[in-house]
Structure 1
Amino acid sequence: MTTTPPRVPPKPTPRLEVRNLVRRFDRRTVVDDVSLAVEAGQVTCLLGPSGCGKSTTLRIIAGVDVQDQGTIHVDGALVCDTVFRVPPERRQIGLMFQDFALFPHLSVAGNVAFGLPRGAEDRARRVDELLERVSLSGFGPKFPHELSGGEQQRVALARALAPRPRILLMDEPFSGLDERLRDGIRDDTLALLKEEGTAVLLVTHEPHEAMRMADEIALMRAGRIVQRGAPYNIYNAPVDREAAAFFSDINILRATVEGALTRTPFGEFLAPAVPDGTEVEIVIRPQHLKIDFDRGGRGPNPTPADGTAARAAVVRARFMGRESLVEFRMDEGGQVLKATVPGVFLPGAGTVMWLMIRRDRCFVFPRRG
């Protein structure tokens, strides 16, 4: 008797797919072989420092800039390559910028309705529906100068969503808002985008924003995507030291590999498949340093996962609000390490303590440069 293997459903076509995008200005490559895909209802963040090519990538996808190589596809259909180009207004791609770009001479309702076909039967109904969904019912007759920054941002969101774009491109859309407003408005925006089922590509240089909003993060550096993945994975498995440092402060211990091991004040670390004599960097985030008080020089009894305890003295301690930041100078080698502790922890300068680091919270990378 033969059995029929279960049918594997076909993989859905991405709402947006970018393949091998390249953009050069003079002799400088600003976007270097960028490929990514965004599904319907997914939020992908292009994250990276200023000047890494994020906004240029967004402009090319929107159609306001032209690539030197590569293709862009929407729902599997070619939108543009280096010869063929669908005009920006026919791509069904919405745009939101950091300055909101509202028309000052149009009312709130006029701004939201701007992208809708004139004479459409449901035009007024769509405007009212979106204003209600962004908590601006009754604001239709007002003008942009009468609104707060947060209200202007919500009008810009409603205007971008009014034509029901298949894709929404957002370029630093929350950077102009007061910090206290951002989290609430980001959450409301995300909820609305999910309801609409819009594929979102968001550009930001703020790791906190990317971690809060994204289903997937594409980390860019010098025009290239160096790592892609879910926020949890990209934070806990960085591809290199720079990727780890982009999301938080880091401590770096430098050592040389001997017999697949590196020796540090915290004991030996495994460095499999790394040739002897290679210099490596052991990266540990401040929140993963464990602290114990000195007990007459005897030190704590760490678990195997904590490795060897190393003696250090407090340089200074500062209360940062939710946590305290403590800087230590190691007895062995004199290196300064930072540790963060939840709540208030302010030992005096010179206080001798013991530090431990968990092996499963460390990253070992070959040293570069």
Structure 2
Amino acid sequence: MTSKATSEAKSQTPPRLEVKNLYRSFGDRNVVDGVSLAIEPGKVTCLLGPSGCGKSTTLRLIAGVDMQDTGEIYVDGNLICDTVFRIPPERRQIGLMFQDFALFPHMSVAGNVAFGLAGSAVEKRARVEELLAKVGLSWAIDAAPHALSGGEQQRVALARALAPRPRIMLMDEPFSGLDNRLRDGIRDETLALLKEEDTAVLLVTHEPEEALRMADEIALMRNGKIVQAGAPYNIYNAPVDRDAMAFFSDINLIKGTSNGALCSTAFGDFLTPGMAEGTDVEIAIRPQHVHLDFYRNGAAVSPSGAYGMSAVASVERARFMGTESLVELRVEADGTALKATVPNVFLPEQGTKFMVSLKRNHCFVFAGK
């Protein structure tokens, strides 16, 4: 088959999981408000957002442990649930993993992994041995769950969820209970195994770093709605609004007013296309894109280029953060507070003056709140 024919065949194949316009209300509150998404086999979508935004409720609707008010859910193009037709949870071929692992304490590791498997005892044992070998726990097959560490219990929970060969894996904050030293390794191992099994994954998290590390696509959720969806690079570098940008990192805000499609600041003019005259404007930039030069001879403008105009600012505080230093400054011209990150150890004294400039191609212009 030619690459063109392969591409066309893929485009005609329905997503492994597709959700269309899901709504779920509790009282007068729309907890899930028109959520739509699609996930391909072997891909990871992270449903990212703050606590209470509707992420876990969305997972419960897809799993079938709660019922949507309106909307449709499809697996491989086949309807599994709308407001009339509903396939029960145990027949949806959807695996579930939660933060607390939920292992059965009265069963061995083998018993936990085999729970819910169909087939003969020999077939079940073979599947258990296969999965425990993949997660590096063959030695623990007859152990009790309480004898294992938190990371080992998480791997048992993963093996149990994968044992019935689910087409889709739903994961609700599955790594948040792990020690930070273990978390990265366990996440990477889990992701590799899920991709090897060609499972479509929907992972709920409130941690941007986890979403950036694991996801093929991020769906950023707020107040029951998906406000932006796309590849991690695009979500991070082209935020839909100020709150989306701020969710991933600290940001600096430089405030002004739109006048003649421009906003004048201590760092020069910024274009404000489409904003009405007199609109409050916020120029947002991350600390790593704030550039510092020592103040010399009263110079007011830095050389032209990516950074454009500079403004004089004084250091209020500087702290070493482990791999970089965080410098807090106050712009003399208008009192704007700024933060800048500098690699390694950089701890200027309070009151030290710098020429501060902004990397213009990393500045975002938003209407003020």
TM-score in terms of structure 2 length? 0.96
Deviation at 1:301, TM superposition (A): 3.0
Matched, 1:142 2:143: yes
**1:309-328 to 2 correspondences below 5 Å:** 309-328=310-329
Measured against aligned partners, the alpha-carbon deviations of 1:183-215 in whole angstroms (never above 9, x if no partner) come to: 010001011111000000000000000000000
Deviation at 1:138, TM superposition (A): 1.4
Letter in 2 for 1:83: V
Deviation at 1:118, TM superposition (A): 4.6
Match of 1:94 in 2: 95
Aligned residue for 2:209, secondary structure, equals helix
Cα distance in 1 for partners of 2:235, 2:303 equals 29
Q: Does the CA-based 8 Å contact 2:49-2:222 persist in structure 1? A: yes
Deviation at 1:323, TM superposition (A): 0.8
Letter in 1 for 2:183: R
Matched, 1:9 2:8: yes
Aligned residue for 1:304, secondary structure, equals coil
Letter in 1 for 2:77: G
Match of 2:248 in 1: 247
Cα distance in 2 for partners of 1:120, 1:366 equals 64
Matched, 1:344 2:345: yes
Letter in 2 for 1:63: G
Aligned residue for 1:73, secondary structure, equals strand
Deviation at 1:336, TM superposition (A): 1.2
Cα distance in 2 for partners of 1:92, 1:342 equals 48
Compared CA separation, residues 120 and 302, structure 1 to 2 (3 A):
farther
Deviates more, 1:291-300 or 1:198-207: 291-300
Deviation at 1:173, TM superposition (A): 0.1
Q: Does the CA-based 8 Å contact 1:294-1:353 persist in structure 2? A: yes
Letter in 2 for 1:243: A
Letter in 1 for 2:239: P
Match of 2:123 in 1: 122
Q: Does the CA-based 8 Å contact 2:96-2:169 persist in structure 1? A: yes
Match of 2:177 in 1: 176
Cα distance in 2 for partners of 1:226, 1:300 equals 39
**1:24-43 to 2 correspondences below 5 Å:** 24-43=25-44
**1:1-369 to 2 correspondences below 5 Å:** 9-10=8-9, 11=11, 12-119=13-120, 121-299=122-300, 301-368=302-369
Letter in 2 for 1:166: R
Deviates more, 1:129-138 or 1:237-246: 129-138
Aligned residue for 2:140, secondary structure, equals coil
Q: Does the CA-based 8 Å contact 2:301-2:311 persist in structure 1? A: no
Computed over aligned residues only, the root mean square deviation of the Cα atoms, in angstroms, reads: 1.2
Deviation at 1:298, TM superposition (A): 2.0
Aligned residue for 1:316, secondary structure, equals strand
Q: Does the CA-based 8 Å contact 2:302-2:308 persist in structure 1? A: no
Cα distance in 1 for partners of 2:330, 2:302 equals 21
Structure 2: stretches of 5+ with no match in the other structure: none
Measured against aligned partners, the alpha-carbon deviations of 1:62-116 in whole angstroms (never above 9, x if no partner) come to: 0000000100000000000111110000000000000000000000011011021
Letter in 2 for 1:214: A
Measured against aligned partners, the alpha-carbon deviations of 1:41-67 in whole angstroms (never above 9, x if no partner) come to: 010000000000000000000000000
Cα distance in 2 for partners of 1:329, 1:301 equals 18
Q: Does the CA-based 8 Å contact 1:292-1:300 persist in structure 2? A: no
Identity %, equivalent residues:
69
Count matched residues.
363
Letter in 1 for 2:8: P
Cα distance in 1 for partners of 2:279, 2:174 equals 44
Deviation at 1:27, TM superposition (A): 1.1
Letter in 1 for 2:322: G
Deviation at 1:120, TM superposition (A): 5.5
Deviation at 1:307, TM superposition (A): 1.4
Deviation at 1:122, TM superposition (A): 2.0
Deviation at 1:342, TM superposition (A): 1.2
Measured against aligned partners, the alpha-carbon deviations of 1:114-166 in whole angstroms (never above 9, x if no partner) come to: 02115254211110110010011110110111000000000000000001000
Deviates more, 1:228-237 or 1:304-313: 304-313
Cα distance in 1 for partners of 2:99, 2:113 equals 17
Letter in 1 for 2:149: S
Letter in 1 for 2:222: R
